Chains A and B, each alone.
Chain A
Amino acid sequence: MFELLFLVPVIPFASFLWLATLGPRSSRRMVAVVGVGSIAACTVISLLITGSYLASPPAGGSYTQVLWTWIAVGRFTPQVAFYLDALSLIMMLVVSFVSFIIHLYSAEFMLEDEGYSRFFAYMNLFVASMITLVLANNLLLLYLGWEGVGLCSYLLIGFWYQDSANGAAAQKAFIVTRVGDTAFAIGLFLLFTHLGTLDIQELMHRAAQQWAVGSALAIAAAALLLGGAVGKSAQLPLQTWLPDAMAGPTPTSALIHAATMVTAGVYLIARTHVLFSLAPPAQFAVAIVGAATLLLAGCSALVQSDIKRVLAYSTISQIGYMFLALGVGAWSAAIFHLMTHAFFKALLFLVAGIVIQALHHEHDVFKMGGLRKDLPYAFWGFVIGGSALGGLPLITAGFYSKDLILWQAWSSAQGSEALWAAGIIGVLLTSLYIYRLIFLVFYGDKKMEVAHRPGWQIKVPVVVLSVLAIIGGFVNLPPGLGNVRAFTNLLSSALPAIAETRASAMSEGLSAGISAAAFAIGLLAAYVLFVRRRTVSQKLASTALGRALHRFWFADWGMDWLYDRAFVRPVIWFTNIDRKDFIDSFYSGLAHLSEFSWRALRTTENGRVRWYAAWITAGAVIFVALVLWT
């Protein structure tokens, strides 16, 4: 069964080619069948491979399928090869399944759009690139997938290209992630130069052998890879692109900017965890980045008015949790949260899409209200997804994954109480903003009429994801509740387990209890502020401090303004100076010189015989003189 591994990236790629060339001329039904069907095939094959892996795991816990040698230059021989171990198995399964669900949803959601086949083409290319990224056995192939998903992100954010604002958002996404990609590339160069290979397993092996813990090279390489991950996963300081990326279609936001692409950074760090273990300062930086980001994004989500932007900041915040987990060494906890986050965030985006479509593409939350009865699927989807996001105790997947992270943030050797506390505050903020969103949209007075009800292709994915958001956490239960460790056990073959050494004053149950309390406080506060006494929240917001904070957090803590002043303006100033392109004038000067000499020579061909005769005699005179005097 493992031999079918290569089909998982190849099928979406083939369907991309078909959709790109023949798609525009096919009917909508055909396009949908091909587009969704390819991902369905992917999912089926992933499930088969998973079954095979669980039933009879391959030797050493991993299986490599080499397709061909990509480049062969001296010692540099990266291959096109796919590496299947527990980590990439989980990732592949999550990516293909969630993609399939979202493709099914978008078959109906994008039905009225005239770029139907273009959309599915881009989405399929995206899935192909993401699977390549996840399954790559060397960092170069991973980088190929990395760039591929970046490209598809650009194409899909700017999908409605007639509006130039969308193009600008797409450019912003691409350029900001490019900064991260450059750091990643430099990290690759460094790794290859010093360790001689880019094959991941081999690389980890050699790094552990040749680099001592804390060596400068390891720190540098890890820091550069962290830079790449920060860019792609929209963490501090490169998070500014994700809120603007909401300009793309909702299924895109669901798939790329919630469930899969933004988690690529998390995957990268998990894959190269050996490197990070060798560089404690870099790992600590990961944790700091995660903690800072989750707080910052949580605050920003609190004051947003666009329904999708709230969810975007929420994504940034949750990935901050994953980075926090990676930073304290809780590798499998991070992947666990990645999986559950994929479920409930995709669910949230899909139901947000239902609301938006139902209200004629209205995004402003303050114009919505009272939709509880009209859009039941959306309402329940939001409730289940939002509760999973906040971490409603015991019955949602998010509770289990987030608690695992919080507990290990406290108890791990690299953890600290401060990081744990940041996580707890994050829980409070999370439940506050998500319930704010739910109450604003679904409770209160109805302000707009519902125009469009969802069909089965939208309802089914919502139901499926809701179910997963509930039961998805049951694969890993804390000791107090059954001590199921299926997930972490599966991953232990790929990611080392964490040593919980600092369990002094806290136990896992106590930590879970405190986070549940934080969740409840947030829910209650949201209920009070936004359902019972709306006036109180409005009065709070209109105080001087409230207004200032509102503006500050609305603008993402001023980061866009900062980047504009620090980077964008100097570049524009310089390019204005270079407007006449004086650097290029050397080359255009050459062209002008040849043109000038052409003009000069042209005047000699004037057809006047006497003129020619004069020049001949002059030449003869000079020639004779030369002969005489040399």
Chain B
Amino acid sequence: MNVIAFYIAAAIAIVTTLLVITRKNAVQALLYLALSLISVAVVFFDLGAPFVAALEVIIYAGSIIVLFIFVVMMLNLGKRATLAEGRLLQPRMWIGPTIFAAILIGEVAYLLARGNATAAAAHLVSPKEVGMALYGPYLIGVELSSFLLMSALVGAYHLGWHKQPKPETEDVGREYSTRIDAGRDTVRAGSSRPAGAP
């Protein structure tokens, strides 16, 4: 395996992750996250797992991050939210989590140093092998993950659907509809903009 490529990709991953958690703007953070995921995919490729590298890029970076971006944009928070975020992100709030993180990293390092970690053989695990494993011994996992995905789908649909709010502007609408052709230009239920406003 290509050591240099590994270290470069690792460095990029760490840096971009750091940037993700310190950004004020949500969209910027998400873009950095995508970069981080792609660099992790590179690491995967370097480890000899091309299938998951591809999967990482397509599914993780491709659909999940995009879904995040859609939702963030749908929320339409605007500049005010970004400023508020900045107010909340004080340096002194970093102390505790940094300590935790440092302890965790220390523990992992300790574990690795203690264990006998030999260098891995540069053996490529082809997609074919993965497929054989999936539909062989791990078949049940596949079925279960299909359950999971189904339930997630239903749940997301149900949770995402929210009742249209009551029309506060009913009077205006009625007034409007008497003046204009009632059949065609009715005020759309749920919208807070009166019909015709830009």
Chain A residues close to B by CB (< 8 Å): 614, 617-618, 621, 624-625, 628
Contacts and interface: CB of A to CB of B under 8 A. Distances in A.
B18 interface: no
B111 A628 contact: yes
16 contacts: A614-B96, A614-B97, A614-B100, A617-B100, A618-B100, A621-B100, A621-B103, A621-B104, A621-B107, A624-B104, A624-B107, A625-B103, A625-B107, A628-B107, A628-B110, A628-B111
Contacts of B103: 621, 625
Interface residues of B, number: 8
A621 B96 CA distance: 13
B90 to A, nearest CB: 14
A618 B103 CA distance: 10
Given A614-B96, A617-B100, A625-B103, 13 more contacts: A614-B97, A614-B100, A618-B100, A621-B100, A621-B103, A621-B104, A621-B107, A624-B104, A624-B107, A625-B107, A628-B107, A628-B110, A628-B111
Interface in B94-151: 96-97, 100, 103-104, 107, 110-111
A186 to B, nearest CB: 70
Nearest to B110: A628
A625 B110 CA distance: 10
B94 to A, nearest CB: 13
A628 B112 CA distance: 12
Nearest to B111: A628
A618 to B, nearest CB: 7
Nearest to B100: A617
A611 to B, nearest CB: 11
A104 B78 CA distance: 102
Contacts of A624: 104, 107
Interface in B53-104: 96-97, 100, 103-104
Interface of B: 96-97, 100, 103-104, 107, 110-111
Nearest to A617: B100
A621 B101 CA distance: 9
Nearest to A621: B103
A625 B103 CA distance: 9
A239 to B, nearest CB: 80
A-B pairs, 9 with minimum CB distance: A621-B103, A624-B107, A617-B100, A621-B100, A621-B104, A628-B107, A625-B107, A628-B110, A618-B100
Nearest to A624: B107
A617 B97 CA distance: 9
A131 B157 CA distance: 90
A618 B100 CA distance: 7
A628 to B, nearest CB: 6
Contacts of B97: 614
A618 B107 CA distance: 13
B171 to A, nearest CB: 39
Contacts of A621: 100, 103-104, 107
A625 B107 CA distance: 7
Contacts of B107: 621, 624-625, 628
Contacts of B110: 628
B92 to A, nearest CB: 15
B105 to A, nearest CB: 11
A55 B97 CA distance: 107
A621 B103 CA distance: 7
A614 B95 CA distance: 12
Contacts of B96: 614
B97 to A, nearest CB: 8
A456 B28 CA distance: 114
A625 B111 CA distance: 10
Contacts of A614: 96-97, 100
A624 B106 CA distance: 11
Contacts of B104: 621, 624
A564 B77 CA distance: 85
Contacts of A617: 100
A398 B110 CA distance: 109
Nearest to B103: A621
Contacts of A628: 107, 110-111
A614 to B, nearest CB: 7
A614 B98 CA distance: 12
Nearest to B96: A614
A196 to B, nearest CB: 76
A468 B123 CA distance: 130
A618 B99 CA distance: 10
A360 B100 CA distance: 92
B106 to A, nearest CB: 10
Nearest to B114: A628
A361 to B, nearest CB: 83
A555 B110 CA distance: 93
Contacts of A625: 103, 107
A628 B110 CA distance: 9
A616 B96 CA distance: 13
Contacts of A618: 100
A614 B104 CA distance: 13
A628 B103 CA distance: 13
A618 B110 CA distance: 18
A135 B107 CA distance: 89
A517 to B, nearest CB: 108
A614 B103 CA distance: 14
A382 to B, nearest CB: 98
A88 B120 CA distance: 110
B78 to A, nearest CB: 24
